[in-house]
Amino acid sequence: MRRVAGKVDAVFVLTTMSLALAFYLLVAFLPATAASVDAWEPTTSYPVPVELASCVATGGQMFCIGGFMGASWTNAIYHAPVSSSGISGWSPNSIGYPTTVYGLSCVESGGYVYCVGGFAGNAYTNRVYFGPISANGIASWTRTADYPLNVLSPSCAADSGLIYCVGGDTSSGVTRKVYYASLSSLGVTAWKAATDYPSAAFGQACIAHAKNIYCVGGQAGTGPTSDAYFATLSSSGTSFWSSTTAYPTSIYGLGCVSTGEYVYCVAGRTGSGNTDSSNFGPLALNGISSWASTASYPLSVYNEGCAASGGYIYCVGGDDGAETGSWVYYRQALQASLTTTMSTTSATSVMFSGSTSTITQITTFTSTETTTLVQTETSTRPTTILISHTDTTTKSVPSTDPTLPIGALLVGLVIGVASGVLVVKARKPH
């Protein structure tokens, strides 16, 4: 067959619908702008030097309960509004905790705070107290079901109306016991034993997220550990514990919080002394897949009290090795930055019917979105959009090789992406 050359006129039709589609495509493929990642900033100091207090945040307020003040321990409670500007000022709670205490572990659930154990008076305690939270503080404290052990520095976490407490130091030694109970406005139900933690430890940091509990570090019989474990939570307790990615260093007395899909761990004490290192990792149903370093804490401390609210992390006090401090620092949790790359592939199919050939051009646009949390942590998600356009060419001579000129095809492809509608009409060759 002989090839027939022809002239092609490209006619581009923009309709209201195509303009809307063009705008959508333009926006969809633009890279998202990341929120800034802030370094730690100082904010209003705590009213007294403190370590081993327990802090929770909810409803734009942070509450810190009890703690060791360097030479004695306290029942004082302070609360403060928290925001992206830090902490504006601390207010003393109208009533103190029922006993002077440090090394207790408190959680917030359903508008109440629940506190477990600690070193109270001159001994380990199994007392559990709860109280309602409001913008004005904690209005009252009520004793509820005692914990099964007299325990110092257990690590407790709450999820779906249940509390789970892991390990701790007892008068008979460090324990690996785990207990759980239901939470309500009436207090804590009777505690039940769950699956033991893999090793006896205290000073580990545990957080709950999406019906999983994750625990990091801790002081074991042989010293600090870098071990990290997770388990699935339910009303029947915890499933078996599974090992997950170890923390970058052996550590205890660190502060860990959950913000969204990530756990952030701050400072702590290693086998060689205090550290200012901070690390974070993504939370998943199968554990913590990796750890990455982030901005160092301004001080090398341990036993600080940390809590998260509104995408910010706030840490209070701690021991820097020389003294117990009243320092308070905060920072924004790392935000994702999104970059998008786009590639195209195309294929042309040709159908003949008598003197009419139908050319269908199918172009595949593949967008790869790369979410960067720190320089070493990326996740990639491909998105594919198919755009097809068909033109019908009527030729006076049958042809086995109908070809659109390359220039017209490329221009048509570009304009077709911009407008969303490409209509190509070809004259008969002459």
Angle, CA of 28, 32 and 36, to the nearest 5°: 170
Q: What angle do CA 100, 104, 107 make, to 5 degrees?
A: 125
Of 128-142, 244-258, 266-280, 358-372, least confident by mean pLDDT is 358-372
3-class SS of residue 65: strand
**36-45, 305-314, 406-415: range with lowest mean pLDDT:** 406-415
**pTM beyond 0.75, yes or no:** no
Task: Give the closest residue to 346 by CA, choosing from 423, 421, 412.
Answer: 412
pLDDT above 50: residue 364: no
CB 316 within 8 A of CB 53: yes
Q: Is 80 exceeded by the pLDDT of residue 400?
A: no
pLDDT band of 335, cuts 50, 70, 90: low
The domains found in the chain, sorted by start residue, are 8-33+337-426 (no CATH), 41-332 (2.120.10.80)
Average pLDDT over residues 229-258: 96
Report the percentage of the chain scoring pLDDT > 90: 66
Q: What tokens were used for 215?
A: 């625990």
Q: Is 3 exposed, middle or buried (0-12, 13-18, 19+ CB in 10 A)?
A: exposed
pLDDT at site 38: 62
Tell me the DSSP string of 241-265: -EEEPPPSS-BBS-EEEEETTEEEE
What residues contact 27, with CB distance under 8 A and at least 6 apart? none
Contacts of 20 (CB under 8 A, 6+ apart): 420
